[in-house]
Amino acid sequence: MKKFVLAVLMTLGSLPLWAQSTAAAGIADFDAERSRLSAERAAIDARFEKERAACYQKFAVEDCLRESRKRRRAETDHIKRQETAINDIERQRRGAAELEKLDQKAATKRPQDTPEKQDESRQAQKDREQRAADHAASRAATAAEADERRRQLAEKEKAHTENQAKAAQKRGEAPAAVERFQSKQQKAEEHRASRARQNADRTKPRGAPLPPPPASPASAPSR
């Protein structure tokens, strides 16, 4: 029985934190694990409320809210898969215990069984436990692959959303940038025209000097 539980815990990759600690002892504290998952779900909900409030302070409100909802849904789905795995392990454990009891009861009713028959019964029990462990491992592997695909898709969608937000921000800033450029161009043109006028004034040729005034009659010599 302990070997069965240990094999299931070691193969279920969807529960790495508690599988390592419980596998060493050969037991699983299902109530404590469910309490941990409940606390994680409460923390996810609290973080979502904070992110929701922060989204209303951003430019792309709907994109921010959509991204936060997707992240919350992915994390909540991961907790649900862990809860399902716990239920599977607990069910497999109860089933193995019942089978072991049946085998023990059958063994007590058949004291005439030969050692070969007893070996066959033990081997049949091991085969059943191995099939149950393989089934649990297959479910865990499928869940892990689904988590990885969802994570990659979430990262792509997040990058796409960020790029759209940046593009929208640039489009919103474009008219102001054009206006600043045109103003700068106009000032530069006015500056060039002013310099040209100044240069023209400096290079303009000076006029010929005025002739001296004619002599007055009083200053003419006497005969």
Is 113 inside a domain boundary?
Answer: yes
Q: Please report the pLDDT score of residue 16 as a whole number.
A: 47
Confidence of residue 179 (pLDDT cuts 50, 70, 90): confident
Question: What six digits make up the tokens of 31?
Answer: 């109530």
Is 65 inside a domain boundary?
Answer: yes
Window from 6-15, 45-54, 213-222 with minimum mean pLDDT: 6-15
Is the pLDDT confidence value at 108 over 80?
A: no
Q: How many domains does the chain have?
A: 1
Is 181 inside a domain boundary?
Answer: no
Quick one: how far is CA 196 from the chain centroid? 60
Is 170 inside a domain boundary?
Answer: no
Q: Model-level pTM greater than 0.75? A: no
Confidence of residue 27 (pLDDT cuts 50, 70, 90): very low
Window from 94-98, 121-125, 173-177, 182-186 with minimum mean pLDDT: 173-177
Q: Please report the pLDDT score of residue 28 as a whole number.
A: 54
Is 189 inside a domain boundary?
Answer: no
Is 175 inside a domain boundary?
Answer: no
Q: Please report the pLDDT score of residue 126 as a whole number.
A: 83
Residue 153 CA to residue 134 CA, distance in Å, equals 29
Model confidence pLDDT, tens digit, residues 66-105? 999 999 999 999 999 988 888 888 888 888 888 877 877 7
CA-closest candidate to residue 15, choices 154, 192, 101, 137: 137
Query: How many other CB atoms are found less than 10 A from the CB of residue 148?
Result: 10
Model confidence pLDDT, tens digit, residues 119-169? 887 888 888 888 888 887 787 778 778 878 888 888 888 888 778 777 777
Is 207 inside a domain boundary?
Answer: no
Q: What is the DSSP string of 171-223?
A: HHHHHHHHHHHHHHHHHHHHHHHHHHHHHHHHHSPPPPPPPPPPPPGGGSPP-
CA-closest candidate to residue 142, choices 96, 209, 84: 84
Report how many helices (DSSP H) and strands (DSSP E) the chain contains, helices first: 5, 0
Confidence of residue 206 (pLDDT cuts 50, 70, 90): low
CA-closest candidate to residue 27, choices 90, 109, 112, 107: 90
Is 221 inside a domain boundary?
Answer: no
Domain region containing 73: 2-157
